[in-house]
Amino acid sequence: MKAVTILGATGSVGTSALDVIERHPERFRVHALTAQSNVDGLADLAVRFGPEVVVIGDVSLEGRLREALRERGARARVAGGRDALVDVARAPQVDAVLAAIVGAAGLVPTLAAAEAGKRLMLANKEAIVSAGALLMAAVRRGGAELLPVDSEHNAIHQCLAGVREAERDGARLVLTASGGPFRGRLDLDTVTPDEACAHPNWVMGRKISVDSATLMNKGLEVIEASWLFNMPVERIDVVIHPQSVIHSMVEFPDGSVLAQMGTPDMRTPLAYALAWPERVASGAQRLDFARLGELTFEAPDLQRFPCLGFAYDALRHGRAASAVLNAANEVAVQAFLEGRLRFTGIAATIQRVLDAFDPEPPSGIDEVLEIDRRAREVAAGMLPNRGPAPQ
């Protein structure tokens, strides 16, 4: 029986993971569930899964959470704030931690799970983009088991299973991208937040949905893949595959290409990460090849979607560029979602921040957090002052 902490339990990835866990009560039990501000959602999950602890990121909501649990007759211990997130990520009775907080806010508890040697099921790509070297060092030091949940990296993990280190040396990674909702759309200036969040194949949180629409999501994944699989930037390709059936591929020097396929459902990589090296049912629909029709591929359009190129450049540049890229993107996406920035303003803002701010590489977590804070300040200073996005 594995005891699991779910960081970001009320989110899209968190609830998908809980759906898988619920199917296997003999294998998994929930130790802790966390959210930022969704008190009722967290309290409902506490009733359903009976965790020992529930953590609310916003400490001012601790009292409301206690009340919500009392009303529902749930008995979990309540804690609040970042230290409490760290505590449930490294608690001795926990075997596995799902890092599913959105944004760099998830970095500190994710690092704590790595340091504590847990099975770290990583969905929170912003953590590894901001602090890849530190996170990978913490995984090694703590003896953690790092299992990627992002469907592309999970696919690559599956394709590389059983491949010896020496054979990986000549391999090339091919990350697939759906292309997002605007692949064929010419006028990107008038895109609204709701349009950007309506992904053609996946149901996800709003931030990653916008990242997917700008192709920044794929850029973050290129950086993530480089850290996870120790792969140089020249050997990571991206191909647009609108059907989202092939989740990514590995090409070997002999010309063989291994691909992992499945319906687009996060429960598949989550079930893999929870049960590895075993396989358990996830609830995902089976692929019906006869009804699938065709699988198509095309090159990404870096002119119209420059964010992917920014991520490649940041990876090549090194230093702290990935952390700056990530922070600028988080600020710009939030401004877009709040109607303060046009869709095309996201890429423009990120480019200006990258041009203006090139700090030294961080040597510890405090320096990463400081770079993240300063990059957010620079980005915020570059946004249009107030009011709705200019038309």
Residue closer to ligand NDP by CB (options 201, 356) is 201
Binding mask 188-227 for ligand NDP (x = CB under 6 A): --------------x-xx-xx-------------------
Of the candidate residues 3, 4, 5, 8, the single one contacting ligand NDP (CB under 6 A): 8
Q: Which residue has the tokens 């090139």?
A: 358
> Does 116 interact with ligand NDP (rule: CB under 6 A)?
no
Contact 99, 73 (CB under 8 A): no
Please tell me whether residue 64 binds ligand NDP under the rule CB under 6 A: no
Q: How many residues bind ligand NDP (CB under 6 A)?
A: 28
Which listed residue (51, 57, 181, 362) binds ligand NDP by CB under 6 A?
Answer: 57
Would you count residue 266 as binding ligand NDP (CB under 6 A)?
Answer: yes
Nearer to ligand NDP, 36 or 282 (CB): 36
- Give the number of other CB atoms < 10 A from CB of residue 161: 11
Taking alpha carbons only, the member of 34, 29, 35 closest to residue 49 is 29
User: Is residue 329 a contact residue for ligand NDP (CB under 6 A)?
Assistant: no
- Residues 6+ positions from 80 with CB-CB distance below 8 Å: 55, 56, 57, 58, 59, 60, 61, 62, 65
Taking the least distance from each CB to ligand NDP, the nearer of 115 and 150 is 150
Please state the length of the chain.
391
Cα torsion 55, 59, 62, 64 to 10°: value is -120
Exposed (0-12), middle (13-18) or buried (19+): which is 76, by Cβ within 10 Å? buried
Q: Is 35 in the site for ligand NDP (CB under 6 A)?
A: yes
Least Å distance, CB 182 to ligand NDP, is 18
Cα distances from 141 to residues 117, 230, 267, in angstroms, run 8, 17, 29
Scanning 123-131, 171-179, 228-236, 383-391 for contacts with ligand NDP by CB under 6 A, the matching segment is: 123-131
Question: Among residues 88 and 341, whose Cβ is nearest to ligand NDP?
Answer: 88
Please tell me the distance from the alpha carbon of residue 52 to that of residue 32, in angstroms, as a whole number.
Answer: 6
CA 307/CA 353 separation, integer angstroms: 13
- Output 11 or 179, the one with its CB closest to ligand NDP: 11
- Contacting range for ligand NDP; rule: CB under 6 A; set: 94-102, 137-145, 243-251, 285-293: 94-102
CB of 356 to ligand NDP, least distance (A): 25
Beta strands 2-7 and 28-35: pairing type? parallel
Selected from 52, 62, 115, 150, the binder of ligand NDP by CB under 6 A is 150
Between CA 20 and CA 25 the distance in angstroms is: 10
Contacting positions for ligand NDP (CB under 6 A): 8-14, 35-38, 41, 57, 100-102, 105, 123-126, 150, 202, 204-205, 207-208, 266
